[in-house]
A and B are shown apart, each in its own frame.
Chain A
Amino acid sequence: MATASTSDFLVLDGVAKSYGPVQAVHDVSVRVAQGEFLGLLGPSGCGKTTTLQMIAGFEAPSAGQILLEGRALAGIPASKRNIGLVFQSYALFPHMTVAENVAFGLEMRRVPKPERQARVARALDLVHLTHLADRFPRQMSGGQQQRVALARALVIEPRLLLLDEPLSNLDAKLREEMQVELREVQRRVGVTTILVTHDQQEAMALCDRVAVMQGGRIVQIDAPWRAYDAPADPFVADFLGRSNRLLAKLDGGAAEAAGHRFPLPAPLAALRGEVALAIRPERLRILPAGQPGLPGMVHSRVFLGGFWLVRVETPCGDMLVTVQNTGTPPAEEGAAVALDWDAHSLRRLEAVA
């Protein structure tokens, strides 16, 4: 740590990976601070898992370098990197008990038995599995297996923890519980963590920063709420939650779409011409027809418990609106409505597709 500042704990510098003619990862550069929880987020085939495998030491980069605590990792085998790894399939050793699974990494480090037992006990306690120490993996639920995998990776006190889609084999409710637990454990242990996931909700819930990847490149890297609020391009806007697109004519300070004129926020005031704007469903308000706003008709509404998801047909295309559930249902299907929003909710999408 003397050789690198805490903000440069892990550095990926121009890392690329190609398999023959196929370029899986292009020029990825990231700096991860010590103790940070970074998410690599993207659809399947975007290069996020390959990037993780290169950090873990199972794939060698074709170009660029990876530095951990200021030291290049190239040439160091996976078994000598001291990087903890949790797989989507958990990859628990099926012929070993929970305790033996967790003890394995310590055995490889020739930790003396009494200390080993103490550390295994502490790790199992951390994930609330002390009572299942003598079970075999196949006798456990998915959530329990997942916690064993976490304990096994943490007990070696890794310099870095890598999580490869760790929660995607769990059902929705359990996944939410595990997110809270995972975040808590990571905070308590303080280990620098990289999470690979295709689930934007998971990345946003867990990570300090997310790097959104597409086609082997990082397209945006930011705090989740900032990336959500100010997506760098239409891909990010769509990938991080739902987004509505609004094609409008800008003429300095104001805009017009389908005959509806509306004000623009200050950063967009100088723009002119045809521009694609984005607005999140929760930033739209449904007003009765006739009120000032973009006119439309309710096409469908779906009840989702905490809120309603309403699809409104407008001259500018279909708009999704989320309406907080306050006990009274929103406008019925077929009803004429108007859509309204605050000017500061509008974002400009860089590229017009």
Chain B
Amino acid sequence: MPRNDRNGAVAIGFHLLFIAFILAPLVVVVLVSFTDKGFLAMPFGGASLRWWWAIGDNPRFLESFWFSLQLAFVTATLAALVAVPAALAIVRFRFPGREALMALLASPLMIPHVVLGVALLRFFAGLGLVGSFVALAAAHLVVVVPYMARLVTAALAGLDPRIERAAESLGAGRLAVFRRITLPLILPGVAGGWTLAFITSFDELTVSLFLASPSATPLPVRLFTYIDQMTDPLVASVSAALIAVTAVVLVVLDRFYPIDRLLTGERRA
């Protein structure tokens, strides 16, 4: 690459400021989590792990953590079961209503989460299901389906249909073609979509706020309501733990599914 394709000093300076801006709040949270004070302070005056141990003494956070894990797992799996067949219909067939189906699958992206939250609150209140796992899973399913559908559709569109035809000409029926050829080849897309759906569900706050109950409180809701009442370094240590988990997931994920492709649904960067 010729030299004049490189960034100049001004560009590098801008980039460093940008990175500092992006990382500042995350770094600060991690630092504060190591303070030995009883209030939000940097650990330079005295560091300890007391607020990390405090997470263990606070069963509410652990409960919510497990609850969120289960919720995210169920949500992402349901999303795959719903989105994979729909993506197959969209990519492999031309039929009346195809455009409408595409719009329907993408529509939750355009709906403000507060609106979705109140709509589902009203709906599940009528069914007596507010505060149930079922209501939260259904709500999260709606939120994550667009991401899943986008990635699976991209994976299918990138698959040469002649490969499926070749399998058919060799004697494979529709089911065998799907199981032996199509599914293995779109698996990276499905796995990427599943992971993105999992993370999105795990992080979801706004819709959950409307549907949560004391016995069914996802972690972001627990954290939000806790911060609403008090801000002590426990919030920082819980947040730092979440940042750490996300960072690990991110680095592992990036190995097999580049993050820009995951988030944009593009096949190649």
Contacts and interface: CB of A to CB of B under 8 A. Distances in A.
Q: Are these two chains actual partners, yes or no? A: yes
Contacts of A89: 160, 162
Given A58-B165, A104-B180, A79 B185 contact: no
A33 interface: no
Interface stretch (A91-99, A119-127, A195-203, A214-222): A91-99
A41 B176 CA distance: 34
A91 B160 contact: yes
Instruction: Give the interface residue-count category, chain B.
Output: 10 to 19
Contacts of A104: 167, 170, 172, 180
B155 to A, nearest CB: 13
Contacts of B176: 108
B162 A79 contact: no
B171 A93 contact: no
A55 to B, nearest CB: 11
Interface in B179-219: 180-181, 184-185
A84 B169 contact: yes
Interface in A94-122: 94-95, 104-105, 108-109
Chain B contact residues: over half helix, strand or loop, or mixed?
helix
B263 interface: no
Contact of A93 (B167, B168, B173): B167
A286 to B, nearest CB: 48
Interface in B136-182: 160, 162-163, 165-173, 176, 180-181
A94 B166 CA distance: 12
Contacts of A85: 165-166, 169
Contact of A91 (B163, B171, B173, B184): B163
Nearest to B172: A108
Interface string A75-93: 0011111111101010111
B185 A78 contact: no
Interface in A136-177: 149, 152-153, 156
Interface in A38-83: 56-58, 77-83
B163 A93 contact: yes
B178 to A, nearest CB: 12
A87 B162 CA distance: 8
A93 B181 contact: yes
A126 B169 CA distance: 21
Interface in B24-51: none
Interface in A317-342: none
A78 B181 contact: no
Contacts of A92: 163, 166
Contacts of A82: 171
B160 to A, nearest CB: 6
Contacts of B165: 56, 58, 78, 85, 87, 91
B170 A94 contact: no
B169 A83 contact: yes
22 contacts: A56-B165, A57-B169, A58-B165, A77-B173, A78-B165, A79-B169, A79-B170, A79-B171, A79-B173, A80-B171, A81-B169, A82-B171, A85-B165, A87-B165, A87-B166, A91-B162, A92-B163, A93-B166, A104-B170, A109-B171, A153-B170, A156-B170
Interface of B: 160, 162-163, 165-173, 176, 180-181, 184-185
